[in-house]
């Protein structure tokens, strides 16, 4: 069956669909020996030879769904040219290739899903209120109520308008802890938001993905999602 290349690449557990589009545009994907750079291109996984960086796609027989409590000092990528540690270094005993769903930056910590199921990843990573993500952030100084209101209504960062979000104060001290719930995940979004109002983020931790929380999971530890958790995520519909 003919399917879009980015979907096939994500189904093979290489990366998310969004990252797959970048690989295609960069000319790193070939079909039957010919480089393909158009995002609308399709292929048949059963008949065509599809390669990424010269390696043929292999489609996993078993779908893997993991929840990791990412510590600071790890990259949400499969490899790093500078040799820095990545989140997959923490997955001891997992032989299947999985990729992170979304990103937490090097200095951030908290819950991160990893999988080799591209369709599952697409649902989780898609913007919309079907799968909000909640973070705890410690910021410098005390933001004024009107400044926080500006953030919740959706400000422009890097020339793009952000979706509205929810912010509440958890610990009201000189450098307060705030709870922030987003329905989209732009690159370094929370840090850039608070930089805009002059209160930079000191610490940042993701504590919830959609319905999923796990306060017992220690930094650096991971677990497989329970079948009922996977099923519940799969019932989500982006845009709803």
**Residue 86 pairs with which residues in a beta bridge?**
75
95 class by beta-carbon count within 10 Å (0-12 exposed, 13-18 middle, 19+ buried):
exposed
Number of other residues whose CB lies within 10 A of the CB of residue 145: 9
Which is catalytic among the residues 105, 119, 158, 195? 105
158 is catalytic: no
Q: What is the DSSP string of the chain?
A: -EEEHHHHHHHTTSS-HHHHHHHHHTT-EEETTEE---TT-EEETTTS-EEETTEE----SS--EEEEEEPTT-BSSS--TT---BGGGG-TT--S--EEES---TT-EEEEEEES-HHHHHHHHS-STTS-EEEEEEESS---HHHHHHHHH--EETTEEPPP-EEEEEE-SSS-EEEEEESS--TTHHHHHHHHTT--EEEEEEEEETTB--TTSPTT-EEEPPHHHHHHHHT--TT-
Catalytic residues: 105
């Amino acid at each position: 069956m003919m399917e879009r290349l980015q979907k096939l690449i994500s189904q093979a557990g290489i990366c998310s669909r969004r990252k797959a589009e970048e690989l295609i545009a960069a000319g790193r994907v070939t079909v039957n020996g010919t480089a393909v750079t158009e995002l609308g291109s399709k292929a048949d996984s059963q008949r065509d030879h599809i390669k990424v960086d010269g390696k043929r796609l292999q489609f996993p027989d078993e779908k893997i769904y993991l929840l990791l409590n990412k510590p600071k000092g790890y990259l949400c990528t499969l490899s790093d040219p500078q040799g820095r540690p990545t989140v997959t270094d923490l997955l001891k005993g997992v032989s299947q290739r999985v990729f992170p769903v979304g990103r937490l930056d090097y200095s951030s910590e908290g819950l991160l899903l990893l999988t080799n199921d591209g369709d599952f990843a697409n649902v989780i990573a898609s913007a919309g209120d079907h799968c909000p993500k909640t973070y705890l952030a410690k910021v410098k100084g005390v933001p004024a109520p009107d400044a926080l209101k500006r953030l919740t209504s959706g400000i422009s960062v890097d020339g793009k308008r952000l979706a509205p979000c929810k912010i509440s104060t958890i610990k009201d001290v000189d450098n307060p802890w705030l709870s922030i719930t987003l329905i989209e995940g732009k690159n370094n979004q929370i840090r850039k938001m608070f930089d805009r109002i002059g209160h930079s983020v000191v610490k940042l931790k993701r504590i919830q993905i959609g319905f999923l929380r796990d306060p017992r999971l220690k930094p650096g530890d991971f677990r497989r999602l329970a079948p009922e958790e996977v099923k519940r995520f799969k019932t989500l519909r982006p845009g709803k």
